[in-house]
Structure 1
Amino acid sequence: MAGKLEVTIEMIIHATEDTKKILDSFEEFFGIQEKEFSKSNLTGHFENPITILNAKITKKKAEKFLEILTSNLPEYQLDEVKDDLENRIQNSKLYLRLGKQDMILGSLSLQEKDAIKLKIFTPIYKKKDTLKNYVELLKISNN
């Protein structure tokens, strides 16, 4: 399944945050280097600088990313993902949000606020197989 697997990473970095710390955390956890991210500098509503970082990883690198992600997330959060999978999938894409500050502090967790957006894509040809495929892909127990 690695041949068609894709993970898109997107995050918003505010002026008060250290871009280097965030990028260093990505390299430490996932082996994704700074040069793999595209960077857009924007100006916020109150003239505050905002940086948007994007990266897309594919194939074996995406598979390795998911292995690291699922092995480092708390088990209760993987259970929550499994229970809420139908609401997290749209058009064969699984949407997750990773805690930015937790990652900087050395742990991975799913969070809704101040998050790194993850979009995981693998082609699914039969809609009825969508949940099963993502359970298998994330190696979530199907008990």
Structure 2
Amino acid sequence: MIHYINLRVIAHSTEDLSRVRKALDYFLLNSAGASEDSNTDDAVEMLNVEGYYGNPITILSAQITRKSDSKAIANFIRQKMHPDDVQRLRSEMPDRLDDDQVFHIRLDKQAAFQEIVKLTSSSDAITVKVKIATYPKNRQKAGLIVEELFG
């Protein structure tokens, strides 16, 4: 069903890194088996890079490969989403599923910090890539799986 889920967010030099991390952890801590005192340090990779104008940027990313955790995160996103966002996601599903069977979602980083799941089209977002596994590779089957997960 889900091969993996990749979450990625950028912390600009003007942002508080701990707040951006809290927004990412909102999703990671709601995976299967996570508890209030769980630590996501092992799951999150931090990469410090330099922006075009020399500004420091930190890229935070996590890849969830356990099937139970992947399904829990997908279910969490779907359950916490506003009905209008669910409808928008439903109508955009064919465009969000690429040829490699990766389903793309952008979630509002500021809303996630406030523990709200909200779709956004902004580039300053938490990007979620859900790799759908079908054997053999079949876009139509992948679409049905995405619909089942997020529809």
Range into which the TM-score falls when normalised by the shorter chain: 0.7 to 0.9
1:110-135 deviations in Å (ceiling 9; x for gaps): 11211111100121233322321210
Aligned equivalents of 2:26 and 2:10: distance in 1? 19
Aligned equivalents of 1:8 and 1:132: distance in 2? 20
Which aligned runs of 4 or more in structure 1 are off by greater than 6 angstroms? none
Aligned equivalents of 1:92 and 1:45: distance in 2? 31
Q: Structure 1 pair 27/45, CA: closer, same or farther in 2 (3 Å)?
A: closer
Q: Which runs of 5+ in 2 are unaligned?
A: 32-39
Q: Does 1:64 align with 2:33?
A: no
Q: What's the offset of the Cα at 1:29?
A: 4.4
Cα RMSD (Å) = 1.6
1:28-48 deviations in Å (ceiling 9; x for gaps): 444171331111111112221
1:72-107 deviations in Å (ceiling 9; x for gaps): 111111111111111000111100001001111221
Q: Which residue pairs with 2:4 in the alignment? A: 6
Q: Which residue pairs with 1:15 in the alignment? A: 13
The residue correspondences of 1:1-143 to structure 2 (distance < 5 A) are: 1=1, 4-31=2-29, 33-58=40-65, 59-90=67-98, 91-113=100-122, 114-124=124-134, 125-138=137-150, 140=151
- Conservation of the 8 A alpha-carbon contact between 1:5 and 1:63: no
Q: Which runs of 5+ in 1 are unaligned?
A: none
- Conservation of the 8 A alpha-carbon contact between 1:23 and 1:34: no
Q: What's the offset of the Cα at 1:63?
A: 0.8
Aligned pairs, number:
137
More helix by share: 1
| Larger RCO, structure (CA 8 Å, separation 6 or more) | 2
